[in-house]
């Protein structure tokens, strides 16, 4: 299979995973903390198995211990906040709001990694804000818990991606890094919410485990196909550009599979703005 088709699989996988996550959290009895823990460890097993097959390399700790702790805290916060957000807002809105994470990544990269912020990135920032205003502009905007959690997840993601870039610039193997940043967040969430472990046995229910397995599997498939595509000759910038189309696809899948069709035209237009913005900001 060529890298192009692997990239297509990656895009579809992450979009379906977002929709399945929303479906999972619509259940009244859903516990976002327990779900986050189980998700992180399932993802660790799936991506870890792939890393072992490809040749796992131990992490480079010297000079990076603080960064690995940050990775666990930031990705753990992202996972927990996204599960909480999806209890009350739709997958389409969640995807559009969290696309603002790229602005955080750029600010941190400019300040701490010495990257340059050009005119195209300024335009991208304006488009991101435009996408959010378009989605909520005609409504009386209320800072609901779901929206606050979504923005919190975006902030965590933005800082986490910049932190990941710093670690990987040190020469560590990206495929080996993925299961580590799946495992550490699970540990972090357990440390701050140890009582959630007691709720995990309640999740042993066929419908819950089916959705959790599918959701985690799609996320794992997204990561695996992305890195195989890189290995098979895809240009990193080109591949990153393609995968941003998942923003639009998530809104469409949410409308079809979850019937989240309120203001569908605005959602799709917002998703297009957000996608263009992310491409400019890459």
Encode pLDDT of 70-82 as tens digits: 999 999 999 899 8
| Burial of 30 per CB tally in 10 Å (0-12, 13-18, 19+) | middle
| Packing angle, helices 32-54 and 206-231, rounded to 10 | 40
What value does the mean pLDDT take over residues 108-125?
72
Q: How far apart are CA 95 and CA 265, in angstroms?
A: 15
The count of C-alpha atoms lying within 13 angstroms of the C-alpha of 42, restricted to the half-sphere facing its C-beta, is: 20
Domain boundaries, the chain: 3-281
Q: How far apart are CA 152 and CA 197, in angstroms?
A: 23
| H or E stretch covering 36 | helix 32-54
pLDDT at 277 over 70: yes
What are the angstrom distances between the C-alpha of 56 and each of 19, 59, 222? 31, 9, 19
| Packing angle, helices 145-168 and 91-98, rounded to 10 | 50
203 Cβ partners below 8 Å, 6+ apart? Answer: 31, 34, 35, 38, 209, 212
Question: Mean pLDDT in the chain?
Answer: 80
Query: What local confidence, expressed as pLDDT, does residue 242 receive?
Result: 66
- Per the structure block, which two tokens stand in for 167? 């670690």
Q: How far apart are CA 32 and CA 36, in angstroms?
A: 6
Cα 162 to the center of its chain, rounded Å: 14
Question: What are the tens digits of pLDDT across the range 139-173?
Answer: 555 678 888 898 899 889 888 888 887 888 777 88
Question: What are the tens digits of pLDDT across the range 238-267?
Answer: 566 566 667 777 777 787 877 777 777 777
pTM recorded for the entire structure: 0.77
Cα 76 to the center of its chain, rounded Å: 11
């Amino acid at each position: 299979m060529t890298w192009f088709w692997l990239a297509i699989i990656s895009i579809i996988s992450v979009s379906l995973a977002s929709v399945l996550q929303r479906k999972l959290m619509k259940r009244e009895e859903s516990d976002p903390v327990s779900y986050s823990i189980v998700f992180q460890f399932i993802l660790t097993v799936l991506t870890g198995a792939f890393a072992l097959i490809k040749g796992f390399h131990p992490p480079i700790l010297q000079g990076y211990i603080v960064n690995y702790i940050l990775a666990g805290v930031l990705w753990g916060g992202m996972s927990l906040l996204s599960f909480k957000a999806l209890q009350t807002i739709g997958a389409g809105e969640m995807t559009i709001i969290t696309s603002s994470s790229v602005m955080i990544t750029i600010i941190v990269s400019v300040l701490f990694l010495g990257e340059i912020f050009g005119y195209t990135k300024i335009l991208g920032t304006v488009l991101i804000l435009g996408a959010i205003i378009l989605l909520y502009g005609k409504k009386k905007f209320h800072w609901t818990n779901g929206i606050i959690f979504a923005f919190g997840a975006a902030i965590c993601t933005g800082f986490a991606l910049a932190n990941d870039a710093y670690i990987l610039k040190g020469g560590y193997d990206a495929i080996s890094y993925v299961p580590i940043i799946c495992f550490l967040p699970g540990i972090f969430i357990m440390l701050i919410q140890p009582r959630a472990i007691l709720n995990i046995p309640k999740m042993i229910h066929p419908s819950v485990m089916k959705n959790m397995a599918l959701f985690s599997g799609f996320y794992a498939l997204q990561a695996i196909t992305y890195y195989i595509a890189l290995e098979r000759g895809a240009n990193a910038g080109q591949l990153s550009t393609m995968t941003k189309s998942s923003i639009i696809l998530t809104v469409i899948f949410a409308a079809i599979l979850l019937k989240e069709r309120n203001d569908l035209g605005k959602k799709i237009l917002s998703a297009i703005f957000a996608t263009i913005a992310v491409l400019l900001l890459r």
